[in-house]
């Protein structure tokens, strides 16, 4: 999988060396020689990964990383800090600044490309979710709240048969998270299907294959998006690379440093919550795309999609389909006499009565304004007419109570009924017949059902 990578280093020779190595692996490379240029290019070009040198004059890599992660435009871009420094304090500082990894010069090509592949896969998923979220924002159905997502208070599953190590990790994390320890892989797989924000796995466990456990997590539709932090011996280089290739999000090498554990944990939980936010926003936008916000019924767009498939099956010899077209009588007088707030209450109450008087297989929808429709699979005209009469009686039989008003409103409806009639029929002709029947019902005095056979 290729990617666009921004290389940032104040030493031109280092930039050219990394650029050549990445280009040889068919990556597209952008370059910058200082912090301000890197920030500008990152915001304008939105690369897939940023390889960022730490020791730069003026604005160092730590500060550049902090600014990238605090900007809503660039916070989702993975950052790998690259430096000649190998001290614990520098590594922790980089991780706490929001970096996804910390590589030491001279860079190990195998580790570099394993990291790049891993982070590219993650970035592709995040990008797709962000694009769909952006569509939701343009539709006005998603509100931004991602900037308030934190990395503390996470539900963490520790999978480790080394009880002493698991206890130490759990004790360190319990300061700001809610860790749970499982020593058996089978039980851990079941636990992972519950509310979990991060899985920490001992990849060198004796009683189970830690990498096979990680692969099982990635292959399960319920758990495949959970971040995994693998504990690995730094000398087991091949296992480390394999872990990244099968989808482990991050690596923690032994001996475990408490601050590094805390920093990597916060990063993974924060990213998981960001991904969850995007997925939840997407689900919400999809729901709103097919749902009428006022009444909670499906909207006209959704109805038309479902009706098309049902009518096509009926025309090909399948079960008949009926349609009810419903209009609330004198609705304009309600709006004019009581106000639009009361009119909205009437629409909501009518939607409840409508939904409670149709069958589970029927599809009640708001067609527009005070017009509603019910699509009725496997229903003949006479049966649809009986159901329509039941709806009419239920609406007219008891007044609508309006909050804040002393009056109880008597509401009636006119209903037109039509059903498919074989070859040559279409969704449009079915709805047109039902609509014509509504006009006949209104012309005949309203508060009645009229079925149109042809």
**Confidence at residue 47, expressed as pLDDT on a 0 to 100 scale:** 94
- The residue annotated as part of the active site, out of 370, 389, 436, 440, is 370
Q: In the predicted model, what is the mean pLDDT of residues 210-222?
A: 95
Q: Which of 261, 241, 298 is nearest to 118 (CA)?
A: 241
**Confidence at residue 287, expressed as pLDDT on a 0 to 100 scale:** 60
pLDDT in tens, 43-79: 999 999 999 999 999 999 999 999 999 998 898 899 9
**Residue 370 tokens, joined:** 């005070």
Identify the H or E element spanning 200. strand 198-202
375: pLDDT strictly greater than 80: yes
pLDDT in tens, 275-323: 887 776 665 655 666 788 889 898 898 898 889 889 998 988 888 999 9
207: pLDDT strictly greater than 60: yes
pLDDT in tens, 103-141: 888 888 888 898 888 888 878 777 776 666 555 554 444
Q: In this prediction, what percent of the chain has a pLDDT beyond 90?
A: 59
pTM: 0.62
**Residue 355 tokens, joined:** 């939904």
Q: How many other CB atoms sit within 10 Å of the CB of residue 39?
A: 19
In the annotation, is 436 catalytic? no
**Confidence at residue 279, expressed as pLDDT on a 0 to 100 scale:** 73
32: pLDDT strictly greater than 90: yes
pLDDT in tens, 432-453: 999 999 999 999 999 999 998 7
Burial of residue 33, with CB atoms counted within 10 A of its CB: 0-12 exposed, 13-18 middle, 19 or more buried: middle
Q: How far apart are CA 303 and CA 184, in angstroms?
A: 49
- The sheet with strand 155-159 has its strands ordered as 178-182, 155-159, 198-202, 228-232, 250-253
Please give the DSSP secondary-structure letter assigned to residue 107.
P
């Amino acid at each position: 999988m290729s990617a666009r990578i921004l290389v940032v280093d104040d030493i031109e020779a280092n930039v050219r060396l990394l650029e050549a190595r990445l280009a040889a692996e068919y990556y597209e490379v952008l370059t910058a020689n200082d912090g301000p240029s890197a920030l500008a290019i990152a915001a304008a070009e939105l690369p897939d990964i940023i390889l960022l040198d730490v020791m730069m004059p003026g604005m160092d890599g730590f500060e550049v990383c902090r600014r990238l992660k605090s900007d809503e435009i660039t916070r989702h871009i993975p950052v790998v800090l690259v430096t000649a420094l190998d001290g614990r304090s520098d590594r922790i500082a980089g991780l706490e600044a929001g970096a996804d990894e910390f590589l030491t010069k001279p860079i190990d090509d195998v580790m570099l490309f394993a990291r790049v592949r891993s982070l590219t896969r993650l970035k592709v998923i995040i990008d797709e979710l962000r694009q769909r979220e952006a569509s939701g924002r343009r539709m006005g159905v998603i509100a931004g709240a991602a900037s308030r997502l934190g990395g503390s208070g996470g539900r963490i599953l520790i999978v480790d048969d080394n009880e002493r190590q698991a206890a130490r990790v759990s004790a360190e994390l319990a300061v700001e998270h809610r860790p749970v320890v499982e020593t058996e892989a089978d039980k851990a797989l079941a636990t992972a299907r519950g509310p979990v924000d991060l899985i920490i796995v001992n990849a060198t466990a004796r009683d189970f294959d830690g990498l096979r456990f990680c692969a099982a997590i990635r292959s399960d539709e319920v758990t495949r998006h959970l971040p995994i932090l693998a504990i690995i011996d730094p000398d087991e280089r091949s296992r480390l690379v394999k872990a990244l290739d099968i989808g482990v999000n991050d690596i923690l090498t032994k001996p475990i440093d408490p601050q590094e554990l805390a920093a990597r944990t916060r990063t993974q939980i924060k990213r998981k919550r960001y991904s969850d936010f995007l997925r939840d926003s997407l689900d919400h936008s999809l729901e709103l795309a097919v749902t009428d916000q006022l009444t909670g019924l499906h909207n006209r767009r959704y109805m038309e999609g479902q009706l098309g498939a049902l009518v096509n099956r009926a025309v090909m010899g399948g079960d008949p389909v009926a349609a009810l077209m419903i209009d609330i009588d004198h609705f304009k007088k309600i709006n004019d006499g009581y106000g639009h707030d009361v009119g909205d209450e009437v629409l909501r109450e009518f939607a409840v009565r409508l939904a409670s008087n149709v069958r589970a297989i029927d599809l009640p929808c708001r067609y527009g304004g005070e017009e509603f429709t019910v699509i009725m699979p496997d229903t003949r005209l006479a049966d649809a007419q009986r159901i329509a009469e039941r709806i009419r009686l239920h609406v007219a039989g008891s007044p609508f109570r309006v909050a804040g008003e002393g009056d109880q409103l008597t509401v009636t409806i006119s209903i037109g009924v039509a059903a498919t009639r074989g070859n040559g029929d279409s969704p449009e002709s079915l709805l047109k017949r039902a609509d014509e029947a509504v006009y006949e019902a209104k012309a005949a005095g309203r508060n009645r059902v009229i079925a149109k056979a042809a």
